[in-house]
Amino acid sequence: MESLLIITGSMGAGKSAVLGEASDILALRNIAHAAIDLDALGVAHLPTGTPSDDVMYCNLASVCKNYASIGVKRILLARAIEGHAELVACHEAVSAANTVVCRLTADIETMKQRVEIRETGARQSEFVVRVAKLNAVLDVAKLEDFTITNENRSVTEVAQEMLVKAGWISL
């Protein structure tokens, strides 16, 4: 793989929305790529003792291998990367020559409201509480190459800024 662009941020920062919009922008420019919401590759309730992250990264490696076999050289990846070990796992699964990490941010209350609207099920209150905790973890980890504010702006503006800063497009 040539390039990996990781979109990180707390819950409610807009990772999935920006991932989708960035994919649309790249498609409109006829730039071959794959857009992967990493959490979706790990949604499971596994047998006791089976590390879910290990399976998720194994799934990611398989998906990337499939994309590479047809000539895809750019991967967009959405996931809250909480520590260096997770970043290394992404590198190992994707095997990209160049990796850029973009952190999306917004006001804590804005992110909590987004999560409350999006997560209407049994774990809603747990996820709303997780917003501030995860944001603090990401503040300490400082794994991003750059940060973009995703608040009071269109998703198109945010995705374009990210792709330009990552060096994937120019305006």
In-domain check, residue 87: yes
Decide if 171 is inside a domain. no
Instruction: Note whether residue 170 is domain-resident.
Output: no
Res. 80: pLDDT tops 90:
yes
Residue 148 domain-assigned (yes or no)? yes
Q: Which domain CATH number covers 33?
A: 3.40.50.300
Q: Which domain holds residue 62?
A: 3-165
Query: How much is the pLDDT for 50?
Result: 79
Is position 22 within any domain?
A: yes
Classify residue 57 as left (phi > 0), alpha (psi -120 to 50) or beta: alpha
* Structural domains of the chain, count: 1
Query: What digits encode the pLDDT tens for the residues 149-171?
Result: 999 999 999 999 999 999 999 98
Per-residue pLDDT tens digits for 15-73 = 999 999 999 999 999 999 999 999 999 888 888 877 788 899 999 999 999 999 999 99
In angstroms, rounded to a whole number, what is the distance separating the alpha carbons of residues 19 and 13?
Answer: 11
Cα–Cα distance measured from residue 131 to residue 12, given in angstroms and rounded to the nearest whole number: 7
Structural domain contains residue 108? yes
What is the percent of the chain with per-residue pLDDT over 90, rounded to a whole number?
Answer: 88
Helix spans in the chain (H):
15-28, 52-69, 84-94, 108-118, 124-141, 155-165
Q: pTM to 2 decimals?
A: 0.95
- Print burial letters for 88-99: b (CB count within 10 Å at least 16), e (below 16): ebbeebbebeeb
Has residue 86 been placed in a domain?
yes
SS3 of 104, please?
Answer: strand
